[in-house]
A and B are shown apart, each in its own frame.
Chain A
Amino acid sequence: MYNKGTIIPGLAIFVLIVTSPLWLNAFMTGSTVPKVELPQGGEKQCVASATEMRANHMQLLNEWRDDVLRDGNRVTVMVDGKVYRKGLQMACMECHTNKEKFCDSCHEYASVKPYCWDCHLTPELAATKKETH
Chain B
Amino acid sequence: MDKQRRNFLKVAGATALAGITAPAVVKLTASEAMASSEHAAPAAGGHGEVEAPTGVRLGLVIDMRKLYGKPELMDKIIASCNKVHNIPHFENKKDEVKWIWKMPFENVFPEHSSYHESDLSKENEYFALCNHCDEPPCVRVCPTKATFKVEETGIIAMDYHRCIGCRFCMMGCPYGARSFNWFDPRPHIKEYNAEFPTRMRGVVEKCNFCGERLAKGLEPACVEAAKEVGALIFGDLNDPESEIRKVLAENHTIQRKPSLGTKPSVFYIV
- Residues of A that sit less than 8 Å from B by CB: 65, 69-70, 72, 74, 89-90, 115, 118-121, 123, 125-132
Contacts and interface: CB of A to CB of B under 8 A. Distances in A.
Nearest to B202: A118
A121 to B, nearest CB: 6
10 contacts: A65-B159, A69-B157, A70-B148, A72-B153, A72-B211, A89-B194, A115-B200, A119-B199, A121-B86, A131-B191
B182 interface: no
B111 interface: no
Nearest to A87: B195
B139 to A, nearest CB: 13
A74 B191 contact: no
B190 A129 contact: yes
Q: What bracket does the count of chain B residues touching chain A fall in? A: 20 to 34
B197 A119 contact: yes
A120 B194 CA distance: 9
A125 B192 contact: yes
Contacts of A129: 189-192
Contacts of B161: 65, 69
Contacts of B212: 74
B27 to A, nearest CB: 44
Given A125-B192, A129-B190, A131-B191, A72 B152 contact: yes
B198 A119 contact: yes
B175 interface: no
B238 to A, nearest CB: 16
A11 to B, nearest CB: 55
B68 interface: no
A86 to B, nearest CB: 10
